[in-house]
């Protein structure tokens, strides 16, 4: 971990020299399997504005076969219909490589009244963000990726409605990068790339109410099935510019 | 021959650049080492006694002091400080008893108007035989985090951490480069820094546990993503260390809560630790079923799902790491916990299902951050071909129930033909029902 720490500061300097240049270039998408399907955040049907969102997934036949798309409904706090999203989400969007055949769509009701959908595309190499206003009109749509040798390790909404995207090498070891996006899919923070660090894995990126990222590294890895107990937990704190502003290392114990 | 060496923590002194931690030249030789706390019993001498609970929620000076000792304990391998309260007010010196109290002198040394705390320790240069701490009773005290208050009220905890550092064998640093709680001058540094930790670990080693594991991964279907939100509503981080008797995540023996500041710096550890008998549920991979939520109040709520999913518990720690409430609910006949989660606002939602998982009648509870029940809704059902898919809590802290007919929450199955949404009030009564 002492080596890691040295690399931390080297990486910070390196990133500062590069500015916020794109970390990846376009090539074929990765075939790295995505570990999860619909995240729990997508299950939060009551938005930050108090209204309920429901995403209807439509199929051509019973048994969830023949997915054709999804329709967003915006309901008031008592479940009464307010509006539906226009256009509907086509089947070609948000239909990721998941266990089962459900679409990979995260839904977040924003405090502004808007609704943000985040899609993970097949192969987990790119993602999209659509935002509807309270009347159900699509007001923005963006997509990012694929980037060479890269897969999406995590895609989620923070409690305040921001989006966190964690990029990882499709064939480890390799660097990690994490983005923070606003409710319209605009990139607010690009942190990284950092790594790889020997026997060290980025286990989680979290966003505080201050909109600053925290990266939690484990050495060795603990994300899979029970394995060796980690010796080190390293926490990096970033500013909104994506620069490391503080590090803390705990262990070994 | 023992000699008396006073260590002083002065305020209002000018700071200057200084190297890393400084050693006093002696250290404690046996672990555990106890410090007798005569704080409440001498608090009558305080010129400006605060109201309790203190600003960080602590309910006694002993609680703050113990948490301060635990901060050091968390980073040292071969030394564990214990504390014990004492109602006595007599202050002994060179009696072999380590003491902490409020007063204006210790070991014959007076605390002047610039001295917040003073530690007198007795050492032969390699062994510290005794250390006594006096906190200046002429100052107004409280316990808080962050920058020093402009009203002149000092943070007892950071001064206690500093003085305990002297007990361990660390000397003052005259200047804050690198930053350190062991600086001669009290400052906005409110907990151990890397330099302080390095000093403590130089004296007592860095290996504190047999094996530790940061609970980062998703432990299974029970632990919702909210549990992964390591940053609390107060901006501080929480880490739950799961302790195993051997590598390979075998022999789970309990968990330790750490409360870190927004930059990941250690602030407090939860006392007591979570025993293995608590929170070791039916999770994936044999990992404990513990949910952690940092509350806006600064408290930390830990929820446990017990094996068999028939009962759950809620423990709440304050910002100082002291356990301030504990509650357990269940088991109830033929009833299982279908879901347990924190809402974004820090409330807890527990969904009960009758008979067996996927059963027919349901009830849902809303609990506050201390495990107190605020709402009991239900039981409702059974309804033919209908399953309660989810209970959600809105920003208004009112429950919404989402019914599916047929169920859609599991692996791909029939497309649901009906979605019903119930809205409930705080009394658990259905106030509206909409069906699509």
Instruction: Give strand pairing partners of B422.
Output: B401, B433
Of residues B189 and B102, which shows the higher confidence score? B102
What pLDDT is stored for residue B33 in this prediction?
A: 92
ipTM topping 0.85: no
Rounded to whole angstroms, the Cα distance separating A57 from B300 reads: 37
What pLDDT is stored for residue A215 in this prediction?
A: 92
* Cβ(B173)–Cβ(B160) below 8 Å: no
Assess A222–B contact: CB distance below 8 Å, yes or no.
Answer: yes
The closest alpha carbon to A107, from A79, A73, A137, A81, belongs to A73
* Angle in degrees, 0-180, between the axes of helices B156-168 and B194-204, rounded to the nearest 10: 30
pLDDT digits (tens, 9 = 90+) for B378-421: 889 888 877 787 888 888 999 999 887 765 443 334 445 677 88
CA distances from B153 to B144, B165, B302, B346 (A): 10, 22, 32, 31
Cα-Cα-Cα-Cα dihedral of A196, A200, A204, A209, to 10°? -80
The closest alpha carbon to B98, from B44, B169, B158, B154, belongs to B169
Helix (H) or strand (E) run with residue A224 in it:
none
Residues of B with Cβ-Cβ distance to A73 under 8 angstroms: 436
pLDDT digits (tens, 9 = 90+) for B237-276: 888 776 666 554 556 677 778 888 888 888 888 899 888 7
pLDDT digits (tens, 9 = 90+) for B127-163: 998 999 999 999 999 988 778 998 999 999 899 999 9
pLDDT digits (tens, 9 = 90+) for A191-232: 888 988 887 888 888 898 888 999 988 776 544 333 344 567
pLDDT digits (tens, 9 = 90+) for B337-387: 888 888 888 999 999 988 654 457 899 999 999 999 999 998 898 888 777
What pLDDT is stored for residue A231 in this prediction?
A: 60
Q: pLDDT band for position A127 (50/70/90)?
A: confident
CA distances from B343 to A95, A161, B67, B183, B391 (A): 28, 14, 29, 41, 10
The closest alpha carbon to A250, from B36, A236, A239, belongs to A236
Q: What is the pairing mode between strands B3-10 and B115-123?
A: antiparallel
Contact B214 A50 (CB under 8 A): no
Nearest by CB to residue B260, choosing from A58, A80, A235, is A235
Rounded to whole angstroms, the Cα distance separating B298 from A48 reads: 22
3-state secondary structure of A83: strand
Contact A63 B423 (CB under 8 A): no
The closest alpha carbon to B65, from B137, B145, B132, B163, belongs to B163
Please tell me the pTM assigned to this model.
Answer: 0.61
What pLDDT is stored for residue A102 in this prediction?
A: 52
Q: What is the pairing mode between strands A213-219 and A201-207?
A: antiparallel
Least confident of A230-244, B180-194, B232-246: B232-246
The closest alpha carbon to A247, from A203, A209, A215, belongs to A215
**Which residues between 174 and 213 in chain A have a beta carbon less than 8 angstroms from any beta carbon of chain B?**
203-204, 206-210, 212
Rounded to whole angstroms, the Cα distance separating B324 from B367 reads: 16
Nearest CA in chain A to B262: A237
pLDDT at A239 over 50: yes
Percent of chain A scoring above 70 in pLDDT: 68
pLDDT at B12 over 50: no
Nearest by CB to residue A208, choosing from B262, B411, B434, is B262
Going from N- to C-terminal start, the domains of chain B cover: 3-204, 210-328, 332-436
Number of domains into which chain A is organized: 1
Contact B211 A214 (CB under 8 A): no
Least confident of A138-142, A198-202, A242-246, B60-64: A198-202
Rounded to whole angstroms, the Cα distance separating A74 from A132 reads: 10
- A19 to chain B, minimum CA–CA distance in Å? 23
Q: What six digits make up the tokens of B372?
A: 């107190």
- B119 to chain A, minimum CA–CA distance in Å? 29
pLDDT digits (tens, 9 = 90+) for B300-328: 998 887 777 788 889 999 999 999 999 99
CA distances from B351 to A229, B218, B311, B379 (A): 33, 20, 11, 10
Q: pLDDT band for position B109 (50/70/90)?
A: confident
Nearest CA in chain A to B223: A40
Percent of chain B scoring above 90 in pLDDT: 29
- A142 to chain B, minimum CA–CA distance in Å? 25
Assess A9–B contact: CB distance below 8 Å, yes or no.
Answer: no
Nearest by CB to residue B214, choosing from A54, A57, A233, is A233
* Angle in degrees, 0-180, between the axes of helices B61-73 and B156-168, rounded to the nearest 10: 50
3-state secondary structure of A84: strand
3-state secondary structure chain B: CCEEEEEEEECCCCCCCCCCCEECCCECCCCCEEEEEECCCCHHHCCCCCCCCCCCCCCCHHHHHHHHHHHHHCCCCCCCEEEEECCCCCCCCCCCCCEEEEECEECCEECCCCEEEEEEEEECCCEEEEEEEEEECCCCEECCCCCCCCCCCEEHHHHHHHHHHHHHCEECECCCCCCCCCECECCCCCCCCHHHHHHHHHHHCCCCCCCEEECCCCCCCCCCHHHHCCECCCCCEEEEEEEEEECCCEEEEEEEEEEECCCCCEEEECECCEECCCCCCCCHHHCCCEEEEECCCCCEEEEEECHHHCCEEEEEECCCCEEEEEEEECCCCCEEEEEEEECCCCCEEEEEEECCCCCCCEEEEEECCCCCEEEEEEEECCCCCCEEEEEEECCCCCEEEEEEECCCCCCCCCCCCEEEEEEECCCCCEEEEEEC
Mean pLDDT confidence for A97-107: 59
Mean pLDDT confidence for A136-158: 87
Contact B392 A46 (CB under 8 A): yes
Residues of A with Cβ-Cβ distance to B208 under 8 angstroms: 253
Residues of B with Cβ-Cβ distance to A9 under 8 angstroms: none
How many Cβ pairs within 8 Å bridge chains A and B?
170
* Cβ(A106)–Cβ(A118) below 8 Å: yes
What pLDDT is stored for residue B229 in this prediction?
A: 42
The closest alpha carbon to B372, from B409, B403, B335, B328, belongs to B328
Rounded to a whole number of angstroms, the CA Rg of chain B reads 26
pLDDT at A171 over 50: yes
**CATH class entry, domain B3-204:** alpha beta
**Which residues between 56 and 85 in chain A have a beta carbon less than 8 angstroms from any beta carbon of chain B?**
57-59, 62-65, 73, 75, 77-81
Rounded to whole angstroms, the Cα distance separating B288 from A206 reads: 21
Averaged pLDDT of chain A: 71
What pLDDT is stored for residue B155 in this prediction?
A: 93
What pLDDT is stored for residue B211 in this prediction?
A: 22
Angle, vertex CA B211, rays to CA B209 and CA B216, nearest 5: 115
Contact B247 A228 (CB under 8 A): yes
- B236 to chain A, minimum CA–CA distance in Å? 8
Residues of A with Cβ-Cβ distance to B217 under 8 angstroms: 203, 222-224
**Which residues between 103 and 162 in chain A have a beta carbon less than 8 angstroms from any beta carbon of chain B?**
156, 159
pLDDT digits (tens, 9 = 90+) for B15-63: 333 347 888 888 998 888 999 999 999 999 999 999 988 887 778 899 8
- B3 to chain A, minimum CA–CA distance in Å? 35
- A23 to chain B, minimum CA–CA distance in Å? 26
- A115: domain range? 2-250
3-state secondary structure of A184: coil
Contact A62 B206 (CB under 8 A): no
Nearest by CB to residue A50, choosing from B394, B411, B433, is B394
- A98 to chain B, minimum CA–CA distance in Å? 11
What pLDDT is stored for residue B209 in this prediction?
A: 26
Contacts of A10 (CB under 8 A, 6+ apart): none
Q: How many other C-beta atoms lie within 10 A of the C-beta of residue B187? A: 16
Q: What is the pairing mode between strands B154-155 and B141-142?
A: parallel
């Amino acid at each position: 971990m002492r080596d890691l720490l040295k690399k931390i500061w080297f990486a910070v300097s390196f990133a500062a020299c590069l500015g916020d240049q794109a970390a990846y270039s376009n090539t074929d998408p990765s075939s790295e399997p995505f570990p999860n399907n619909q995240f729990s955040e997508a299950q939060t049907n009551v938005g930050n504005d108090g209204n309920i969102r429901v995403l209807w997934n439509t199929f051509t036949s019973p048994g969830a076969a023949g997915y054709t798309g999804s329709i967003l409904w915006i309901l008031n706090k008592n479940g009464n219909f307010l509006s539906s999203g226009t256009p509907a989400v086509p089947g070609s969007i948000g239909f990721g490589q998941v266990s089962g055949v459900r679409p990979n769509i995260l839904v977040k009701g924003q405090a502004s009244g808007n609704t943000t959908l985040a899609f993970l595309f097949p192969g987990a190499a790119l993602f999209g963000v659509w935002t509807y206003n309270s009347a159900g009109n699509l007001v923005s749509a963006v997509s990012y990726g694929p980037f060479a040798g890269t897969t999406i390790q995590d895609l989620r909404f923070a409690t305040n409605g921001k989006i966190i995207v964690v990029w990882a090498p499709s064939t480890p070891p390799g660097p990690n990068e994490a983005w923070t996006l606003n409710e319209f899919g605009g990139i607010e923070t690009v942190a990284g790339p950092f790594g790889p660090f020997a026997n060290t894995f980025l286990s989680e990126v979290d966003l505080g109410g201050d909109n600053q990222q925290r990266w939690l590294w484990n050495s060795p890895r603990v994300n899979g099935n029970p394995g060796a107990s980690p010796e080190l937990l390293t926490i990096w704190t970033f500013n909104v510019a994506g620069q490391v502003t503080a590090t803390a290392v705990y262990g070994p114990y | 021959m023992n000699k008396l060496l006073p260590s002083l923590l002065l305020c209002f002194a000018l700071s200057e650049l200084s190297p890393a931690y400084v050693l006093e030249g002696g250290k404690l030789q046996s672990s555990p080492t106890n410090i007798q706390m005569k704080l409440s019993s001498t608090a009558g001498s305080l010129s400006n006694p605060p109201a309790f609970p203190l600003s960080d929620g602590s309910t006694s000076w002993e609680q703050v002091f113990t948490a301060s000792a635990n901060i050091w304990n968390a980073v040292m391998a071969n030394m564990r400080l214990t504390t014990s309260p004492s109602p006595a007010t007599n202050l002994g010196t060179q009696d072999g008893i380590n003491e902490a109290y409020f007063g204006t002198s210790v070991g014959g040394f007076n605390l002047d108007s610039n001295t917040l705390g003073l530690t007198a320790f007795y050492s032969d240069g390699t062994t510290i035989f005794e250390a006594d701490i006096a906190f200046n009773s002429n100052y107004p005290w409280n316990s808080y985090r962050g920058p020093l208050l402009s009203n002149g009220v000092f943070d007892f905890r950071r001064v206690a951490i500093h003085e305990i550092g002297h007990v361990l064998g660390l000397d003052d640093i005259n200047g804050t480069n690198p930053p350190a709680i062991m600086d001669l001058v009290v400052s906005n540094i409110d907990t151990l820094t890397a330099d302080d930790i390095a000093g403590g670990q130089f004296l007592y080693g860095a290996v504190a546990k047999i094996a530790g594991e940061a609970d980062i991964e998703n432990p299974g279907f029970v632990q919702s993503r909210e549990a992964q939100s390591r940053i609390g509503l107060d901006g501080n981080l929480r880490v739950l260390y799961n302790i195993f008797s051997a590598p390979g995540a075998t022999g789970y023996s309990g968990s330790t809560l750490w409360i870190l500041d927004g930059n990941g710096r250690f602030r407090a550890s939860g006392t007591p630790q979570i025993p293995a008998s608590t929170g070791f549920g039916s999770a994936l991979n044999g990992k404990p079923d513990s949910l952690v939520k940092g509350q806006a109040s600064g408290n930390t709520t830990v929820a446990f799902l017990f094996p068999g999913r028939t009962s759950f518990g809620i423990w709440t720690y304050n910002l100082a790491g002291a356990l301030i409430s504990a509650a357990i609910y269940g088991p109830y006949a033929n009833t299982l916990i279908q879901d347990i989660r924190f809402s974004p606002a820090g409330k807890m939602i527990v969904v009960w299902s009758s008979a067996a998982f996927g059963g027919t009648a349901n009830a849902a509870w809303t609990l506050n951050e201390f495990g107190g029940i605020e709402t009991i809704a239900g039981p409702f059902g059974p309804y033919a071909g209908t399953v309660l898919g989810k209970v959600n809590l809105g920003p208004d802290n009112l429950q919404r129930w989402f019914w599916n007919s047929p169920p859609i929450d599991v692996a791909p199955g029939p497309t649901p033909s009906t979605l019903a949404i119930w809205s409930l009030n705080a009394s658990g009564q259905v106030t509206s029902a909409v069906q699509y």
